[in-house]
Structure 1
Amino acid sequence: MTLINGLPAHVLLVHVVVVLIPLAALALVAAALWPQAARRLGVLLPVLAFVALVSVPLTTNAGEWLERHVEEDALVRRHTELGDGLLPWALGLFVLAAVVWWAGRRAPAEPGQGGSGMRWSALPVRIIVGVLSLAVAVGAVVDVYRIGDSGAKAAWHDAYSKTATGSENGS
């Protein structure tokens, strides 16, 4: 995918990544630290993380196409390099979201009920999964911020005037 309605696809797809990665990260942390949130989110948690994961290579590929169609620039190169590092974070979000969902659905809903599989209510398991989820979520969100910041600098560094060029009322 290179163009959407005449615009570079990267310019549009980047918004999907900027929304879904932090949303998946927030949902993952909530579900990992709060079992009731995991039950409420249900299968939506891994589905959200999967859609976020799939959006990353689509956006990256569209960005690589766009890179070949703009003037060579150190800021664009930096943005591209940073963008290539998001996929492992998105994969980590998806894997942990799948683990949290799977463990949450196999655990008993109420204490005293029977349940099979992993004991999601076991404190050491919840702590490990919670810490891992928090670490991956923070890493993913920070990476999205760094990539977005570098992309904005690459796109806008010399494309506007710091002083207003129109009339005082903005028209």
Structure 2
Amino acid sequence: MPSTLWGLPTHPLVVHLVVFLVPLTVAATLVVALWPRARRVAAPWVLAVATVAVISVPMATSSGENLESRVPHSALVERHAELADMLLPLAGVMWLGLAVMTGVGWYARRESAAAPRWAGAVTVAAAVLAIGGAAASGVQVVRIGHSGANAVWHDVAAHPERR
């Protein structure tokens, strides 16, 4: 991934994709996990958005690592990078739960009246997994964003008289 786009560091540009898509996926995951009718209608679409969201996470961390090598080292930047490294596994858990819910739902609808008895239990387990991953991903995005803003703007907030 290039370290700059249009003369700007890539990271602040790419990170907005994560900041938009992960919370959108979190909200949509909660809807399809908790509302069976929405699951039947929207789960494949939510899974598609979740796939793009999960793919965008390594793009953001990679561009962040490129930027990290070009800025002065600080504990704030290090903390931001550590928090960011935890997002992919959490988003992956959310994606896995969504994928299982979507796949089981598709299989059960295909079998129509003869849906296997295990489908309901697997769907509930996948929903619990998706909800847990969604909650953790949502919290982690906030933590990462706050630490990133703190790393960039801490001097401005600490010295408001410098204008």
Q: What TM-score do the two structures reach when normalised by structure 1?
A: 0.84
Amino acid of the structure 2 residue aligned with 1:101:
T
User: What is residue 98 of structure 1 aligned with on the other side?
Assistant: 99
C-alpha deviation, 1:103, in angstroms: 1.7
CA contact (8 A) 2:108 2:115 kept: yes
User: What is residue 141 of structure 2 aligned with on the other side?
Assistant: 144
- Unaligned ranges ≥5, structure 2: none
RMSD of Structure 2 on Structure 1 (CA): 2.1
User: What is residue 150 of structure 2 aligned with on the other side?
Assistant: 153
Q: What TM-score do the two structures reach when normalised by structure 2?
A: 0.88
CA contact (8 A) 1:43 1:101 kept: yes
C-alpha deviation, 1:141, in angstroms: 0.5
User: What is residue 168 of structure 1 aligned with on the other side?
Assistant: none
C-alpha deviation, 1:92, in angstroms: 1.1
CA distance in 2, matches of 1:117, 1:65: 49
CA contact (8 A) 1:45 1:101 kept: no
| Pair 71,118 (structure 1): closer, same or farther in 2 beyond 3 Å | farther
C-alpha deviation, 1:118, in angstroms: 6.5
Greater gyration radius: 1
| Pair 95,127 (structure 1): closer, same or farther in 2 beyond 3 Å | closer
CA contact (8 A) 2:104 2:122 kept: no
C-alpha deviation, 1:50, in angstroms: 0.7
CA distance in 1, matches of 2:24, 2:4: 26
- Unaligned ranges ≥5, structure 1: 166-171
C-alpha deviation, 1:125, in angstroms: 3.9
Amino acid of the structure 1 residue aligned with 2:25:
A
Deviations 1:1-54 (A, max 9, x none): 221111111101111111111111221121111121112214212111110010
Deviates more, 1:24-33 or 1:10-19: 24-33
